[in-house]
Amino acid sequence: MKCVVLLSGGLDSAANLALSRSRGLEPVLALTVDYGQKAAKEEGKAARKFSEIYGVKHATVDIPFLGELGRRALTNRSMSVPALVPEELASREATEKSATAVWVPNRNGLLIAIAASFAESLRAERVLIGFNREEAETFSDNSEEFGRLTTQALALSTR
Q: What is the pLDDT along the chain (159 residues), one digit of tens a residue?
A: 999 999 999 999 999 999 999 999 999 999 999 999 999 999 999 999 999 999 999 999 999 999 998 788 888 888 888 887 888 777 878 888 888 888 899 999 999 999 999 999 999 999 999 888 778 878 889 999 999 999 999 999 998
- pLDDT at residue 80, as a whole number: 86
The CA distance from 30 to 55, in Å, is 10
Neighbours of 93 (CB within 10 A): 8
d(CA 98, CA 81): 8
Q: State how far the alpha carbon of 158 is from the alpha carbons of 20, 39, 152, in Å.
A: 22, 31, 10
Beta strands (DSSP E) in 7-133 are 26-34, 58-62, 126-128
By three-state DSSP, how is residue 126 classified? strand
Closest of 89, 122, 127, 129 to residue 108, by C-alpha: 129
What is the C-alpha separation between 33 and 117, in angstroms, rounded? 13
CA distance 155 to 48: 29
At residue 112, the 3 state secondary structure works out as: helix
What pLDDT sits at residue 120? 98
